[in-house]
Amino acid sequence: MRNNGIHVHQLANQLLVLTQEVHAAPVATCWVWYRVGSRNEINGHTGISHWVEHMLFNGTPDFPKGTLDRIVARNGGVFNGFTSHDFTAYFETLPADRIELGLQIESDRMINALFLEQDVESERTVILAELEGKANYPETWLDEAVKSAAFTLHPYRQPVIGYKNDLLAMNRDDLYHHYQTYYMPNNAVLVLVGDFDTSALMERVEHYFGGLPTGPTIPRVYAVEPEPQGERRVTINRPGPVPYLQIGYLVPDCRSTDFVPLFVLDAVLSGAKSLAMFGGGAQTNRSARIYKALVETQLASSASSSFWPTIDQFLFELEATVHPDRDIAEVEAALTNEIETIQRDGISAEELARVTKQMRAQVAYGAESVTNQALLLGLWEMIDTYQRSGQVLDQLATVQAADVQRVAQTYLTRQRRTVGHFLPTNTGSISTVA
């Protein structure tokens, strides 16, 4: 099946393969996406998806620990992996004539990762160090507090990296069971974008992945976050440089017909943003509403909105770094006022047109990189369908200014929000010793 330059293949073992030839530069990228993330985690096992992701860099019989990064480097490539709420992804971006290496690595570690006891133990402390590195930043404490207040039962309340006590308690069998449950062709999507010939490459895909067994049925996630019954407020008091504000409104998932109007609302508030993570986007926030109202007025040194597509209902967020001379309450009032102004007066036709133009440019910048193109295909396939990665401009064209006002009125209410304050407990608590 072919759709907009994207070929869709399904192997007999149910592995979905998306390929897109791009001959702009002699590079290609190989991604494997698994439909598992912190959304799939239960109490006591928080962080297990992220830890399993780390274990896939710890060796197989064919690629023992410490060889994978060297072989990718030797072939002029880069590789990495990351875990999110809704998915786990791995990629290799390589000179085009080396793309088969990606197929070999990913097919091998889909099934053959060793999870040796001593590697599990050493990775436990690596992840604790990753967690402690994040905890050095005050924003991490605030974000965790906002998420855990905004979600009462949905796993989106848990940090992707997990809670420290769970990371101390889980063992090799827990991790290996998670791996065997979710890391199967029927729960994976292979995405290949770049300078290759599809039919020749598909022959190699079949060679590497065709023989892998289909896994068990994937456990469903039943959690549905209940309707909030009133505003929630959290405060973090810790050492820190300045106050930070974070507000999250519970909003629909990416399949909702209200998703695209919310996406436009985010762009009206702080510029159209690319979902592409590997560079290339343009900064478009300084002419948008929040920058004018918060940064230009010197209430905050930075402020923005953010909205990310997810499988289940998530948060539409507002964030601000409070100017040291200002009160966080003033900043909160000003941010809230920006939302209430749109609820009352709507947005202008010019703003809608500007968002569309900005998005058209962001799509073009993102398309300069095969890594970004594959990221968008895989990301959308994880949460809905890959087809949406090419539909963003068409979908924007269907949005009316009144839709944006309506979704602001419906979802960005005090009833549906969690307000977080980070209030520093110290000033000038730095000392140096020789």
Partner 1 sequence: MSWLSLSTSASNQATQPLLNTTRHVLPNGLVALIYRNPTTPTVSVRGRVALGAAYEHAAKSGLAAFTAATLIRGTQHRTFQQLVAETEERGCSVNAGGGMHSSSFGGKALAEDLPLILDVLADMVKHPTFPSTEVEKLRGQFLTGLRESEEETRFQASRALRKLLYPAEHPYSRLSSGSIETVQALTRDDLVAFHQWYRPDLTTIAIVGDVQADQVIATLEQTFGDWQGNTSPPDLLWPAVLHIEQPQQRHITLAGKVQTDIIWAVHGLKRQDPAYYPAMVGNIILGRLGMGGRLSDAIRQEQGLAYYASSSLDADVQAGPWAAGAGVNPAHVQRVIELLLHEIETFRQQGPTAEELDDTKAFLTGSMALRLEANDGIAAMLLGIEEFDLGLDYVVRYPAIIHDVTAEQVTDVARTYLSTERYVLATAGPDTAKAL
| Of residues 414-433, those binding partner 1 (CB under 8 A) | 425-426, 429-433
CB 213 within 8 A of CB 187: no
CB of 75 to partner 1, least distance (A): 6
Pairing of strands 232-238, 88-95: unpaired
Considering the complex, state which of residue 44 and residue 133 has its C-beta at the smaller distance from partner 1.
Answer: 133
CB 109 within 8 A of CB 95: no
Q: Give the separation between CA 256 and CA 288, rounded to whole angstroms.
A: 25
CB of 127 to partner 1, least distance (A): 8
CB of 387 to partner 1, least distance (A): 22
CB of 46 to partner 1, least distance (A): 18
Residue numbers 383-402 binding partner 1 by CB under 8 A = none
Residue numbers 263-302 binding partner 1 by CB under 8 A = 271-272, 279-280, 282-288, 292, 295-296, 298, 301-302
Under rule CB under 8 A, residue 47 binds partner 1: no
> Which string of DSSP letters, residue by residue, matches 80-146?
EEEE-SS-EEEEEEEEGGGHHHHHHHHHHHHH-----HHHHHHHHHHHHHHHHHHHTSHHHHHHHHH
Under rule CB under 8 A, residue 114 binds partner 1: no
Contact map string, positions 152 to 171, toward partner 1, x by CB under 8 A: --------------------
Tell me the CA distances in angstroms from 196 to 30, 100, 193, 221, 257, one per residue in order: 11, 10, 8, 37, 36
Among 101, 191, 250, 347, binds partner 1 (CB under 8 A): 101
Under rule CB under 8 A, residue 5 binds partner 1: no
Considering the complex, state which of residue 276 and residue 382 has its C-beta at the smaller distance from partner 1.
Answer: 276
Sheet holding 188-194, edge to edge: 2-3, 6-10, 16-21, 188-194, 27-34, 88-95, 78-83
Considering the complex, state which of residue 415 and residue 425 has its C-beta at the smaller distance from partner 1.
Answer: 425
Q: Can you give the three-state secondary structure of 354-402, one letter per residue?
A: HHHHHHHHHHHHHCCCHHHHHHHHHHHHHHCCHHHHHCHHHHHHCCCHH
CB of 260 to partner 1, least distance (A): 18
CB of 210 to partner 1, least distance (A): 16
Tell me the CA distances in angstroms from 306 to 26, 282, 359, 367, 415, one per residue in order: 34, 15, 15, 22, 19
Residue numbers 55-84 binding partner 1 by CB under 8 A = 57, 65-66, 68-78
CB 190 within 8 A of CB 32: yes
Residue numbers 197-216 binding partner 1 by CB under 8 A = none
Contact map string, positions 339 to 358, toward partner 1, x by CB under 8 A: ---------------x--xx
Under rule CB under 8 A, residue 242 binds partner 1: yes
Under rule CB under 8 A, residue 330 binds partner 1: no
